[in-house]
Chain A
């Protein structure tokens, strides 16, 4: 089937099998390997991307369902070579160790901050409830999102792919 999916503002037109998962389209056909596959069973959130502004697990969507959809991946966060405040804060607050979960964490946090500009720690934890991290123990991830919320409040900025 012929599909056209915009990823980070750039259209990708391909002929695909309907059973191809969106996550494989992004990684294998568009070559954007920042989106990770952790569990492949809808549990870990590593594959989270934004589809028309909504955080979704790209392993639980067929690419054909994203025909005509605007997708934003971790590669669409930095703009003009400058990291997005969320990326910066994950770095500064040690919100990652191995980094496997980080793209999913950041995409989900990006949606949270779009919906709620000043989340409490409980709200941050709730919003990231579908994203598992085997390294950090979550404390620094929460601190990173809190710090990014503050930065964005002082200086609003949109991601390149938004």
Chain B
């Protein structure tokens, strides 16, 4: 399995990479961890003439906590996110997702920026990114732009990024008080990708009522989405098993579910109900 030949350039900064993308138009692609793009190139599903490697820009791999946010550089690998204390404390659902991706070798190479930009409908991060209300910071020829997660995932393998834009950072707002989050998935046995993955974030107020509930679901539709009806049914309520079960009935409402050899559309929608409930239970337990 040999890829189509290409010209290879190592970018030393994101600005340089943006310029190179502009120069080569649609004939160039950037590579970060390469764990989505290289398999596609080997299958010749992708055949860029120019490959621009951003994987060696060291200052793009970091997890920082500042000004009420966790900031994660686009090149931060799944392994670093999985094992980051700051991520586990501030946004556990993201650490859960990172740790459930593929296998150790994939997690050593794959990056969060690459995964979000690739926007595989069965990728793990998007559910957590949506539930946590993250912001994606992208650099393009006209400068920097902030894209809310809710606007980022547009369709299968399609994001709100312009062709010459590159993700620079992911920002996750930190919540205060009693709060918890979790991500759980049902994996396709051979590939490890999500047949359904659900992330939940909750806050509990002084009287133990739920507020600012966020639920993201991946693997079920053409792209990850938020279960807004379920969120609405939970805000202001005290968590109880019956309430969670009932609220999660609408977790996949209005979604045209994927239907393939791995799972039927109905089964996926059922998994959306079950996994959003389980993710909520885990998030509430972590909120303590």
- A residues with CB within 8 A of B: 1, 17-19, 21, 40-43, 45, 48, 54-57, 60-62, 64-65, 108, 111-112, 126-127, 129-131
Contacts and interface: CB of A to CB of B under 8 A. Distances in A.
B3 A19 contact: yes
Given A18-B6, A42-B38, A54-B109, 10 more contacts: A1-B8, A41-B1, A41-B42, A43-B190, A45-B103, A56-B109, A60-B39, A65-B34, A65-B53, A108-B105
Contact of A62 (B1, B4, B8, B35): B8
B35 A64 contact: no
B106 interface: yes
Nearest to A48: B105
Contacts of A112: 104
Interface string B1-18: 111111110000000000
B126 interface: no
A62 B38 contact: yes
Contacts of B34: 60-62, 65
A112 to B, nearest CB: 8
Q: Give the contact-size bracket for chain B.
A: 20 to 34
B100 to A, nearest CB: 11
B55 interface: yes
A18 B8 contact: yes
Contacts of A127: 104
Nearest to A58: B105
Contacts of B55: 65
B256 to A, nearest CB: 30
Nearest to A24: B2
Contact of B4 (A1, A19, A41, A61): A19
Interface of B: 1-8, 31, 34-35, 38-39, 41-42, 51, 53, 55, 79, 102-106, 108-109, 190-191
Contact of A56 (B41, B51, B108): B108
12 contacts: A18-B5, A21-B2, A40-B42, A42-B38, A56-B105, A56-B108, A60-B35, A61-B38, A62-B38, A112-B104, A126-B104, A131-B103
B5 A42 contact: no
Contacts of A1: 8
A60 B105 CA distance: 10
A42 B106 contact: yes
Contacts of A19: 2-6, 41
Contacts of B51: 18, 62
B35 A130 contact: no
Nearest to B102: A130
A1 B6 CA distance: 11
B105 A55 contact: yes
A17 B5 contact: yes
A75 B39 CA distance: 27
- Nearest 3 A/B pairs, CB to CB: A130-B103, A18-B8, A54-B108
Contacts of A42: 35, 38-39, 106
Contacts of A60: 34-35, 38-39, 109
A61 B104 contact: no
A62 B38 CA distance: 8
Contacts of B106: 42, 57, 130
Contacts of A17: 5
Contacts of A130: 102-106
B39 A57 contact: no
